[in-house]
Amino acid sequence: MARTDRYGLPLTTSSSAAAEQLQLGMDRLLAYGRGADTALAAALAADEGFAMAHAGQALHHFFMADGAAARAAVARARERVGGASRREQQHVEALGAIVGGETARGLALIEAHTRDFPRDALLVKQASSSIGFSGRADREAYRTAYLEALAPAFGDDWWFQSELAFVYHETKR
């Protein structure tokens, strides 16, 4: 049975428990909430080969400023993503660039990826953060334009609306 996340994106796992725990981990990552690590560990306990759960762990470690653990989790995701969907493969590749310190390359990969998969929320969130911390003189205009272009895909989604509201606040809009 094909599995998808809340945003309708494919998940390559045969385990409904792994998919459910990944979604819980995603929601907690998107909200900067507690327990993302526990949910992602549960997803991997249900399916050790689930590349997206390893990618989720990489993002969690990255958010927690543990670069070594983030790189190790991305490496595990890369080892397991070969039989996954194109969307998941691109997600892992872009995340690997970001976590590996290739921010400009990672942002370019995410921008290309979100043209086909605009609802890949974890990558959109990471792109928004990376742009915001980029030091570019035009970073807020760039981030605002990036998010506004994706707004139709997200509609009134709770996470996206909060991300966009934050950017509007930062730009005094």
Q: Is the pLDDT of residue 1 over 60?
A: no
- pLDDT by residue (tens digit) across 72-113? 999 999 999 999 999 999 999 999 999 999 999 999 999 999
Q: What angle do CA 101, 105, 107 make, to 5 degrees?
A: 95
According to the model, what pLDDT value does residue 2 have?
A: 64
Residue with tokens 């990552």: 29
CA neighbor of 125 nearest in space, from 36, 45, 46, 21:
36
